């Protein structure tokens, strides 16, 4: 009887330890789950804040000339189209195709009738088109893709500014940046795709870069 009682007491004690251990493990698990959920929540909030910050930043300032007539909008839209083709040629490291599209940019820029714009619009359009023509001329005259890439950033900035100012596109545009371009000086480019395809590095570092401004 005594042995049976001791056995029962041992079993009861072991059972109590098991229950206590299980309760502690469960409490720890719940605490870990709560911490993980909190971390995930904070991570999602941080990501949302970063995304909002990214899209709220303005890298290229431009006046609002959206009330300008259709001719200028269509002309700048053609300029943008030729620019995007040039940018893609530099991604592919194809200097001959880049030269062809640089010539097309020069033609598109020459077709923009600045004289037909209002006196308010003319100084801005003239300044940006001069940058476009100078950069495109340098690219068209270079046989080396490395030299062509050196002139992409001013062309990108001027094209983006004209597109924004005259509200010349319905597509979403991404103004992107590579910190390692131009001997680690950094440089921007314009893309119609959110996915990074670096025109300064090509295949060597195709995905190097980030989106710094979005034009919806």
Segment holding 213, helix H or strand E: strand 210-215
* Position 175 pLDDT exceeds 90: yes
* Position 197 pLDDT exceeds 80: yes
Domain span at 205: 70-215
Say whether both 42 and 149 belong to one domain.
no
Domain end: 9, 28, 56, which one?
Answer: 56
- Virtual torsion, Cα 149, 151, 154, 160, nearest 10 deg: -50
Say whether both 149 and 189 belong to one domain.
yes
Residues β-bridged to residue 191: 174
From the number of C-beta atoms within 10 Å of its C-beta (0-12, 13-18, 19+), residue 64 rates as exposed
Number of domains in the chain: 2
Of the candidates 57, 68, 62, the residue with the CA atom closest to the CA atom of residue 119: 68
Q: For the chain, what is the mean pLDDT?
A: 82
Say whether both 162 and 193 belong to one domain.
yes
What pLDDT, on the 0 to 100 scale, is given for residue 89?
98
- pLDDT-derived band at 3, boundaries 50, 70, 90: very low
Rounded CA-CA distance 45/129 in Å is 42
Rounded CA-CA distance 188/210 in Å is 10
Residues β-bridged to residue 214: 174
Length of the chain measured in residues: 216
Say whether both 107 and 210 belong to one domain.
yes
Say whether both 136 and 186 belong to one domain.
yes
Count other Cβ atoms within 10 Å, centred on residue 180: 16
* Position 78 pLDDT exceeds 70: yes
% of the chain residues with pLDDT over 90: 72
- pLDDT-derived band at 69, boundaries 50, 70, 90: confident
* Position 163 pLDDT exceeds 60: yes
Say whether both 133 and 105 belong to one domain.
yes
**Model-level pTM?**
0.75
């Amino acid at each position: 009887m005594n042995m049976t009682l001791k056995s029962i007491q041992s079993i009861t004690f072991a059972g109590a330890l098991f229950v206590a251990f299980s309760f502690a493990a469960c409490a720890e698990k719940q605490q870990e789950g709560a911490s993980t959920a909190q971390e995930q929540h904070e991570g999602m909030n941080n990501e949302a804040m970063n995304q909002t910050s990214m899209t709220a930043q303005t890298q290229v300032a431009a006046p609002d000339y959206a009330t300008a007539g259709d001719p200028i909008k269509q002309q700048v839209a053609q300029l943008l189209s030729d620019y995007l083709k040039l940018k893609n040629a530099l991604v592919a490291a194809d200097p001959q195709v880049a030269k062809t599209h640089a010539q097309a940019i020069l033609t598109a820029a020459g077709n923009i009738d600045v004289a037909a714009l209002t006196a308010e619009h003319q100084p801005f359009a003239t300044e940006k088109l001069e940058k476009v023509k100078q950069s495109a001329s340098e690219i068209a005259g270079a046989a080396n893709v490395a030299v062509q890439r050196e002139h992409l950033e001013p062309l990108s900035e001027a094209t983006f500014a004209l597109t924004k100012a005259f509200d010349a596109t319905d597509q979403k545009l991404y103004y992107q940046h590579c910190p390692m371009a131009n001997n680690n000086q950094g440089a921007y480019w314009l893309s119609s795709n959110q996915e990074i395809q670096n025109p300064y590095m090509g295949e060597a570092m195709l995905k190097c870069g980030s989106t710094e401004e979005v034009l919806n």
